[in-house]
Amino acid sequence: MKHADFQSPAARLNDAMKQLELIWMETKEQWSDSVSQKVEDEYLVPLSAQVRAMLDTIEKLSGVMSQAERVCSHTRERGPIL
């Protein structure tokens, strides 16, 4: 049975969000006006909240899927019984 990997894509998404936040902080040093504040308020803040919520959900889903895979796996796939 192929195992679902949610952690690798989640880690890439988390890294991308961190990179965006870092670049935005650097950008704000040069671009600080009402338009930049609007971009931050209307796009970046909601995006950050959505990504955090998604990462939390992915973590929970990963745990559920791992448990389901263990329960549904054939006894030969579970490893030795000690």
pLDDT band at 70 (very low <50, low <70, confident <90, very high): confident
Could you tell me if residue 14 is inside a domain?
Answer: no
Could you tell me if residue 6 is inside a domain?
Answer: no
Could you tell me if residue 48 is inside a domain?
Answer: yes
Spatial distance between the Cα atoms of 22 and 27, rounded to a whole number of angstroms: 9
Other residues' Cβ atoms within 10 Å of the Cβ of residue 38: 10
Contact 68, 60 (CB under 8 A): no
Indicate the residue type of 35: V
Average pLDDT of the residues of the chain: 90
Could you tell me if residue 25 is inside a domain?
Answer: no
Spatial distance between the Cα atoms of 16 and 58, rounded to a whole number of angstroms: 16
Count how many domains the chain has. Answer: 1
Higher pLDDT, 50 or 66: 50
> Does residue 78 have a pLDDT over 60?
no
> Does residue 81 have a pLDDT over 80?
no
The structure's pTM equals: 0.77
